[in-house]
Amino acid sequence: MNTRVQLTHEVILERETVESLNPTQRRIHQAAFRLFAEKGTSQVNVLDLAQEAGVARGTIYSNIDNMESLFETVASHLAREMHERVNKSFDSLSDPAQRLANGIRFFIRRAHEDSKWGAFIHKFAMSNSSLREMFSSQATTDLLSGLSSGRYTFAQEQLLSVLTLISSSVLGSIFLVLEGHKTWRESGSDTAELVLRALGVPQEEARALATTELPALPSID
């Protein structure tokens, strides 16, 4: 029972029937999220999961198929949730450069505020397709509109390289914050500024865009 949702730039994410999760399943999924973030997929076993969820081992088996699909569900749920909240926040912003700067900083701030979330993203953003799509669908639209409005100065053929630069530096920055080597403010502003400069935004302007007051992430519904 899945419905398909068309996103801004020909990227498709599956909408899971999250609503159909009963309380027990929700606890299991939340526990799984924490464990995956801490230990990585291959290190999470059923017993740990049961204990973390405060549930008996048998309950796990009667509520999930296997670890793999559980992980997939958790990851795509995460991707969808973040994607929607960021998009919602973008409703009030038209400047693609400002949106990009804010997007970058949203991710980095959230990794700071919820280190489990940050760890999860950092571990799986490259290997999981839902998360990868979240990153690229988020940025592609704004990159293209920024290009055509002359705000960015890179070649169309470099789009994929630019996308990769953006997502990987966000991940690197999240890592920096998680390890405590930088505050999220510094790391977020620095990364946003550097990325904008790479795209052709003049230094002073890039700095300004990267250091505005960052609004709170809207919640969904």
Provide the minimum distance between the beta carbon of 41 and a copy of itself in the complex, in angstroms, as a whole number: 10
- Tell me the DSSP string of 82-145: HHHHHHHHHTT---HHHHHHHHHHHHHHHHHH-HHHHHHHHHHTTT-HHHHHHHHHHHHHHHHH
The site map against a copy of itself for 170-209 (x = CB under 8 A) is -xxx-xx----xx---xx--xx-xxx-xxxx--x------
Provide the minimum distance between the beta carbon of 198 and a copy of itself in the complex, in angstroms, as a whole number: 4
Residue found under tokens 């994410």: 13
H/E segment holding residue 21 = none
Provide the minimum distance between the beta carbon of 74 and DNA in the complex, in angstroms, as a whole number: 15
Bin 8: left if φ > 0, else alpha if -120 < ψ < 50, else beta: alpha
Which one of DNA, a copy of itself, none interacts with residue 20, CB within 5 to 8 A by kind?
none
Q: Return residues touching a copy of itself (CB under 8 A).
A: 40, 42-43, 126, 153-154, 157-158, 160-162, 164-165, 167-169, 171-173, 175-176, 181-182, 186-187, 190-191, 193-195, 197-200, 203
